[in-house]
Structure 1
Amino acid sequence: MQTRLRDGTECDVLVIGSGAGGMATAITAAKQGLDVIIIEKAPVFGGTTAFSGGVVWIPGNPNCPPDDIAQAREYMKHETGNFYDESAVNAYLDTGAEMLAFFERETEVKFSPSLYPDYHPDAPGGADVGRSLTATPYDTSALGDNLKRLRPPLSTITFMGMMFNSSNADIKHFFNATKSVRSFAYVAKRLAAHAAEVVRYGRGTHVTSGNALAARLAKSCFDLNIPIYTDSPARDLLTEHGAVVGTKVKGQMGDVIVRARKGVVLAAGGFAHDIAKIREAYPHLKRGGEHLSPVPKDNTGDGIDLGRTVGGQFEVRFPETSAWMPVSKVPTKTGFKPFPHLIDRYKPGIIGVLKSGKRFTNESASYHDVGAAMIKACEGETETACWLIADRPTIRKYGLGFAKPAPVPLAPYLKNGYLVSGKTLADLARNAGIDARGLAATIATYNKDAVRGADPEFGRGATSFNRYLADPEVGPNPCVAPITEGPFYALKLVMGDLGTFDGLATTVEGQVLDTQGTPIGGLYAVGNDRASIMGGNYPGAGITLGPALTFGYITGRHLAGVA
C-alpha cells in the first residue's frame, strides 16, 4: 500500500518515473545498499513499459553464438550511421548480458527466448534469431494491494481485457477457435481463467509482454522496500552550489521537498505527448497532419524539461526523432483510441496504399520503417496517411487492425466507420476517398505477381523478419497472396509512435551534460529521457527496453560507486 510522501523526506537516490529505466536504476542502486525512492506523476506505475511488447534486445545473451558481440557492433555501426557513439555502444554491448544475469539472478525479472529476427537481418552484422528476449508471463496477484496501481495493458490490443501470450502460436489458437477442436479448447480455457481472475481481482492477473515486465520490476522494488509514490509529479529540481540535491514534489497534501544525497534520476518517459515539442519535431505535424500516440498520456517531456531548467543539453537532432508506429483510430464514446499495427501488415493478401491508390513500401517491414516511408511518401501533402486493403477471405481469416477475424462480425466496425467496404474495388475507392484508377492499377500489378508469391516491386517476404509475423501455411511466400474476392475492405492508418529517441545528452553512466558538455552534479537520465544510442533508427525488437534496463543498471552501479 502507498503511504503519504512527507515533506523533508531524504534518500540516497530519487528516481522520477516508474518505467523500466527508472525501476532498473532503483533496483540496482538498492541492491548496492542505497536508500531509493521512486516518484510517479501518474496514478499508476509501469510507464510506457506496461504498454509495450516487453521485448529486450541484448546481443551476447546465452541464446546467441560466441561471436555475437562483434557481429552486433558491426550491425550497430551500420544502423546508427553518423550517430554511432562508440563508447556508449561498447558499454551497452559489453554490459547487456551481465545486466540480464543480474536481474534474473537477483530479482523477480525473468525473460524467455524469442524467435524475433533483427529488423534488418540482411544488413552487415544482422542476425536471424537470438538477440531479442521476451518478458516471461507473470501472475500479478503477487503484487497484493499494489495490483490496482499497476498500469493496465493498452486496451486496444487486448481481447475482452485479456492479453495474448507473446507468440504466434497463442494468437493462432484464437484465429482458429471455430475451425479446430484443439484451438477451441485452448481459447475456452484461457477465457474461463481470465473470467475467474476478473471476478476475484477486478482485472486479469495473467499478464504477458510489457505488463509482465513492469509487474516483475515493481514486485522487485517492493521486495527491496523501494516505495513507488504515484500521483506524485516532480515540479522543480533543487540545486545547491551548482549540483542537484532533490526535488519539489506535488504530494497529496501539497508540495513537499524530497532531498537526495547521491543523485536524482530523470526517467519520465520522453516527450511523445509534449504538444509543443512534437509539433516542432514531427514533419507530418508541421505540414498539418495527424498524430495519435499509443504511449501513456503522461509522457509530456517532464524529465527533459526539468533537466533543461538546470542547464541540461537537449536538442532534436535525429532524422527520425521517434519510434514510428502506424496506428488506426478506434472510435470510442469520447473520441478515438489508437490501435498499433504490429501484426496484420505482414499477412498475405493485405497491402498498404496512399490516397493515390499506389503502394509505397514493403508492408512487411518493421513498423518504424513503414512509418518513416509513410512520412516520406506523403511529403507535399497536408495529410500523412495510408490505407490497408484486404478482400473478404483475408479479413475473415486474419482480421484487420482492431477488427477481429471470424466468427466476430464485421458489422460493428463498418457501422462506426472504423472499416470501409465496397462490393468492387471501384466502390471501395469511392467510399474510402482513394483514387479509383490508381487502386485498380495497383491491385492488378500486385496480383499479377502475387499469384506466384512474388513482389518484385518491394521484395516483400525477402527477409526472415518479413516472414516472422506472416502466415507460414501460405506458400511459396508467407507474406504475399492476391486480392481477388469481394467485398473489399479498407482501413485508414495515421502516424503514431512507441516513444521518442531524442533526449538529454549524458555520459555513458547517465550523468546529464550541460550545454558545454560538463556533467551536472547529482543529475542523471535513463530510459527515453536520455538520448537513444540507436541514432533514430530501429534495428530490432527490444532496442528501447534493452538499453533502458542496461543503462539503468550502469547508472545504478555508478550512483553506488561500483565500477
Structure 2
Amino acid sequence: MQCARDKSGLKCDLLVVGSGAGGLSTAITAKLRGLDIIVIEKEAVFGGTTAFSGGVLWVPLSRHSRNSREADSKESLDEVRRYLRHEVGNFYRPEFVEAFLKHGPEMVEFFEDRAGVKFLPTEYPDYHPDAPGGALRGRSIVAAPFNAASLGSNLGRLRGPLETITFMGMMFNSSSADLKHFFNVTRSVASLIYVIKRMSGHLVEMLVHGRGVQVTGGNALAASLAKSAIEHGIEILAGTEAKELTIRDGAVSGVRVLRGADCFDISSRYGVVLATGGFSHDRDRIKEAYPHVGRGGDHFSPVPKGNTGDGARLAESVGGRVTTDFPQPAAWMPVSKVPMAPGRDVAFPHLLDRYKPGVIGVLKNGKRFTNESNSYHDVGVALIDACKGSAETCMWLICDSNALRKYGLGYVKPAPMPHSKMLKNGYLTKGDSVCSLAEELGIDAGALESTVREYNEHARRGVDIQFRRGTTAFNRFLGDPNHQPNPCVAPIERGPYYAVKVVLGDLGTFDGIETSVFGEVVRGKEIVPGLYAVGNDRASLMGGTYPGAGITLGPIMTFGYITANRIADRAEGSSS
C-alpha cells in the first residue's frame, strides 16, 4: 500500500524505524551525541523483540567479565577471535569482528555510565565451551532487574513479556534465585516463605499498576532503554508505520508514514535507521528462507507479530540486498503451542525443560535424534535435518511422573501446580505405559519402547551413550545440580508418562540487509546515502551460527552504538 502525501509533517536530525534494542540503542547514542531524534514504532507498544527476550548480551571482555577466566589482554582477545573463527567459519568477517570486539565493552560502559542502563555478569558458558577458544563463563551479561513503574505514564506503552514464560504475570530470570525457590517450594520451608513473599509483592503490583512492574531479562532491558530515551527527550511515536522512503538529491531523507488514518512525511536531516526486527512473520520470505517451511512444515515464531520484514522491503526499494547465504537463516527455538483461549495459541519457548534429567525428545518414528541439552538453536538445526524427508518438522518431549512433578514440562508447571487443564485441552498427553503414550501421540510404539529401554539402561548410571548429554559445561549449566552424577540424565521409568509436542520457531532472523561495518546499507559496491540498518534487520555478525547466550543482543547494541556514532561524526563534519 502507498499513501498519498499529506501537507503536514515532522522534522528531525535522525529518524529510527523500530523501538527494540537496536533502534533504541542507536537513538540514545545519537541523542547523547547531540542529534535530534524521532523513533517510530509500527505497533502500539515499544520494546520490540527485545521485550520478549532473555535480555542477555554476549560481549566479551566487558567490565563485567574482569573476574572471569578472561582478562583485558591480547591473549584473551585472541581466544575470542579463535572461538568466532571456529564457529562462524567461512562467514567470519575480520573487519566486523574487530569492530565488535573493540566497541562492545565501550558500549556497555557508555550505556551504564551515561544512559542509566545497568547490566549484571552471568555464569553462562559459551554454547560450545569445548571448541577452540570457548569459554566456561564470563562472556555473557544480562540486563539488571528494573522497576518499570519508573516509566510513569509510559508504563502502559511498554510491551509486556511473553505471557507463557511468566507465572501469573510475574517474571524471573531463568538462572536466578527466584526460579530455584519456585522449583523447591514443596521441598524447602525457606523456599516456601520466599515464594509467599514474592507472590504477595506481585499481587500488590497487579492491584496498583495492572501488571507486574519488577521486570527482568529482555523486558528490563526494553524498559530501561525506553526510560533513558524518554528522559533524554527522544520522541517515540507508537502506532506509526513506515510505508516508503523519501529521497532528496539521491539520498534517503525521511519516511512516509501511516498513523491511524493520517499519512504524512517525517524528514530527517542525516538519514534513516532501519530497526524493524527482521522478517520472522513475513510468510513469503520465510517460505523461501526457512527450509522446513519451504517443504510445507509448520513454523510458530514467538517474536512480535509486527516483525514482517518492513526493513528488508524498504531497503530493497532503493537497491539494498537481503543476504540469503547463511547456513541457517534464523536463530531457531523449539516451541510448543499453548492453547490460551479457543482459536488462540501462544508459543512457549523450551528454554529449560530439555536440560533436565528424565526428559528426552523423540521424532514420529519414536527415536531420539540429538542431545536435547544442547542450545535451542543446535536442537533446531538437528530437528530440521532429522525431519528432512517429512513435510512436518516436529518432535515430542517425553518424561515420566517423577520428572513432571520435579520440573514440569513446557508450559506445565511442576508440583504442586495441577496439570489437569493441560491434559483436557490437549497440550499435555498422558499414557499409563510408554506404549500407550505412543499410541495416544500417533508415533511408533515399538520404537519408542525400545528407545526408552535403551536410554534407561545407561541413564541409571547417569550416562547417555547415544548423544552424551551432560558432558559439556553448557549442558550441565541448565540441568539439575542436585541430581547426580549427571544433572541432565535420569531414567524414564515411573508411570504414568507424559509428552508435549514441539515445533520450530525462531528468536529472530540471521539473514538480513547487507551493510558496511558502520551499518550503511549497501547497494552493489556502493552505499545507499542516508540509509542504515541495525538489529535483526541487518545481516548477522555470526553468519548464521549461534555461539553463545546473547549473540543477537550483544552485537545488536554494539553496532547500534557504532552506527549512531558514525552518523553523529558525519553530522559534526557537515556542520563544521
Shorter-chain TM range is: over 0.9
Q: Map 1:354-503 onto structure 2 (within 5 A).
A: 354-503=363-512
Of 54, 76, 80, 2:88 maps to 80
Spell out structure 1 runs of 4+ moving beyond 3 A: none
Structure 2 partner of 1:236: 244
Of 180, 204, 221, 1:196 maps to 204
* Cα shift at 1:335: 2.6
AA paired with 1:416? N
Structure 1 partner of 2:3: none
Contact 2:54 2:173 (8 Å CA) reproduced: no
Contact 1:134 1:166 (8 Å CA) reproduced: no
1:264 aligns with 2:272: yes
Q: Map 1:85-100 onto structure 2 (within 5 A).
A: 85-100=93-108
* Cα shift at 1:332: 2.4
Contact 2:251 2:529 (8 Å CA) reproduced: yes
AA paired with 1:285? V
The whole-number CA distance in structure 2 between the counterparts of 1:375 and 1:252 is 40
The whole-number CA distance in structure 1 between the counterparts of 2:355 and 2:549 is 15
How many residues get paired?
Answer: 558
SS at match of 2:130: coil
SS at match of 2:514: coil
SS at match of 1:213: helix
SS at match of 1:358: coil
1:102 aligns with 2:110: yes
The whole-number CA distance in structure 2 between the counterparts of 1:411 and 1:290 is 27
Structure 1 partner of 2:556: 548
The whole-number CA distance in structure 1 between the counterparts of 2:409 and 2:177 is 18
1:307 aligns with 2:315: yes
Q: Deviations over 1:42-97 (max 9, x none)?
A: 00000000000000000111314223322111111111111111100110011100
- Structure 1, unmatched stretches of 5+, are none
* Cα shift at 1:517: 2.3
SS at match of 1:233: strand
TM-score normalized with structure 2 length: 0.96
The whole-number CA distance in structure 2 between the counterparts of 1:349 and 1:213 is 34
* Cα shift at 1:166: 4.2
The whole-number CA distance in structure 2 between the counterparts of 1:222 and 1:15 is 14
Contact 1:59 1:68 (8 Å CA) reproduced: no
SS at match of 1:456: coil
1:351 aligns with 2:348: no
Q: Deviations over 1:198-245 (max 9, x none)?
A: 111111100000000000000010111001000001111001222100
Structure 1 partner of 2:164: 156
Contact 2:323 2:539 (8 Å CA) reproduced: no
TM-score normalized with structure 1 length: 0.98
AA paired with 2:528? I
SS at match of 2:569: coil
The whole-number CA distance in structure 1 between the counterparts of 2:180 and 2:525 is 51
Contact 1:46 1:215 (8 Å CA) reproduced: yes
Of 524, 539, 556, 1:531 maps to 539
Structure 2 partner of 1:295: 303
Structure 1 partner of 2:31: 30
Q: Deviations over 1:139-168 (max 9, x none)?
A: 011101110000000000000011113424
RMSD: 1.2
* Cα shift at 1:6: 9.5
AA paired with 1:420? T
Q: Deviations over 1:242-261 (max 9, x none)?
A: 21000101124511111000
The whole-number CA distance in structure 2 between the counterparts of 1:428 and 1:6 is 65
The whole-number CA distance in structure 1 between the counterparts of 2:8 and 2:275 is 22
Of 125, 128, 131, 1:120 maps to 128
* Cα shift at 1:172: 1.6
AA paired with 2:151? L
The percentage of counterpart residues that share the same residue type is 58
Structure 2 partner of 1:330: 338
Going from structure 1 to structure 2, the CA distance change for 1:6 and 1:372 (only over 3 Å counts) comes to farther
Contact 1:304 1:504 (8 Å CA) reproduced: yes
Q: Which moved more, 1:162-171 or 1:496-505?
A: 162-171
SS at match of 1:460: coil
Q: Map 1:42-57 onto structure 2 (within 5 A).
A: 42-57=43-58
SS at match of 1:236: strand
AA paired with 1:502? D
SS at match of 2:233: coil
